[in-house]
Amino acid sequence: MTQLQGKRIVITGAASGIGRASCLLAATQGASVVAVDQSEAVTQTRDEVIGAGGNAIAIQASVADENAVNSFIQSCVDEFGGIDGIYANAGIGGGGKPFLELTPEDWQRTLGVNTIGVFLCVKHAVPHFTAQGSGSIVCTASVAGLRANAGGVDYSASKAGVISIAQTVAYQLYGTGVRINAICPGLIETGMTAPIFDRARTRGTEGRIGQVNPTARFGQPREIAEMACFLLSDAASYVNGQAIPVDGGLSASHPWVYPQHG
């Protein structure tokens, strides 16, 4: 597939999981990729892309640092001659505590990466996009930003903020030719969700992971990457301001218990 042929794309949170899968898929589809992550493992993502015949550079940076965000977006322009898309994917799992135990510092850390980090990517990419009259912004939100019981209070609120950014900015970019959308993953096997999988495997209940959605399984990073690359492409030219669940159908239902038979 070549739906991203010639596109120049920045992808954050690129050292592992959804970000790495998105870098690999985007490069396979013809994009030149700037892989960004706070972890030095982002260089491995770059090496995998190049090893597969793709084009990529790696930048170690935090999306919570405005100067760093401006710099890595400019690096895409300098290295590849422009920028056509950005996937603001970087995120953290939150404080991981009952809400009464959360501190202001927990909130600041979670919002700093998950919400403000997305805002900064949007803020610094948009001037390039509006100048050329085109560009696609994709953000990673979560089903936790849509409804309760998919994450802690700080994490869920941070992802609801991402959804609101996508909806609000879409209208602030009225008529510019620039699109913005959010992806709301369900339970995906990544480094962030590893504790869930580790506990289930220890208990011998791995087969029950994801059973509450009608697909009856958990998802893989590649399945989110497929949606991200579609939204970054011209094939999604009329998709704008949306929060799109990729969750096996989880968010389609009210609370539900699988009926036991026999």
155 is catalytic: yes
Catalytic residue among 155, 174, 238, 258: 155
d(CA 17, CA 13): 8
The DSSP H or E segment spanning 105 is helix 104-111
Q: Say how many C-beta atoms besides its own lie within 10 A of residue 107's C-beta.
A: 16
d(CA 70, CA 62): 11
Tally of residues, the chain: 262
The DSSP H or E segment spanning 28 is helix 17-28
Q: Say how many C-beta atoms besides its own lie within 10 A of residue 75's C-beta.
A: 17
d(CA 37, CA 50): 17
| Residues tagged active-site | 155
